[in-house]
Structure 1
Amino acid sequence: MKITIVSVGNIKEKYLVDAINEYTKRLGKYTKVEFLKVSDEAINDHPSDKEIEMIKNKEGDKILKVLPSNSYKIALDLKGEMLSSEALASKMLDIFSYHNANISFIIGGSLGISRAVLDLCDYKLCFSKMTFPHQLMQVILLEQIYRAFKINNNETYHK
């Protein structure tokens, strides 16, 4: 089993890179984690709705080119379903066990994920109705994936 994180843009902040590296190291006990990054598009300060859709579509095309076809695809989307940590752990166990699939999580750019990518996904997951920087979302996602493996292996982890 393998986890792939597909994300838009680069993470420049050292503290976020350090946190990503730490959770990736911890996850190495349970699974292989692969990171696929695509470049983000330039955005002016006040983009029109048409410009927003065009940017999301360009980023979406890049995501579609690298997205593993042989995986269960989960988009992080504000309109997705909210799960507890335990429910996410159960869902991941179900995907690995019954779908016999690797999991790809997709983190869009600052404007979100294109309709084409969302339509291709098997599941849409919402972490919160709050807005988080997409760079920070990668850390939050990795922590929850790590927590899910701890839960599924009946191992203690802080609550």
Structure 2
Amino acid sequence: MNIANDTVVSIDYTLTDDHGAVIDSSTGGEPLAYLHGHHNIIPGLENALLGKKVGDHFTVRVAPEEGYGLREESMMQVVPRHLFQGVDEILPGMKFHAEAAHGTTVVTVTAVNGDEIHLDANHELAGQHLNFEVTVKAVRAATPDEIAHGHAHGPDGHHHHH
């Protein structure tokens, strides 16, 4: 069976940046199962998987536009230190969860300048090329339930608990 819309696909993958550093990998764990055609994974990877079948092994380099997007200046902001109640030390590289209009987002501290805290709400992989090495492990037709919910219910079709 070839990968198409409304198939549940299990893949083993390793994601590296352009310097060869591993960002994420399914190695040593369960394969990633996703429902194809429902935006469960980034577009560049989903597009590359279309038409593939079990046993296919390939690499794909995904441009930022097809991955986590380009870095946006509008996502950078400077906030006063008093917003960080109960945080003794704020250092560049620290991550905080912030409430945003569309739910919780993760912001990264990029600089601390006295009482001014510089934050970046861009996805940490925004603006980066993503290099995936992928092996297709399984492909099956999705159940009507999975299609209705827009995601895979695990390799065995078991229901997840909310």
Task: Tell me if TM exceeds 0.5.
Answer: no
The two structures have a TM-score, normalised by structure 2, of: 0.23
Higher strand share: 2
Structure of larger gyration radius: 2
Higher helix share: 1
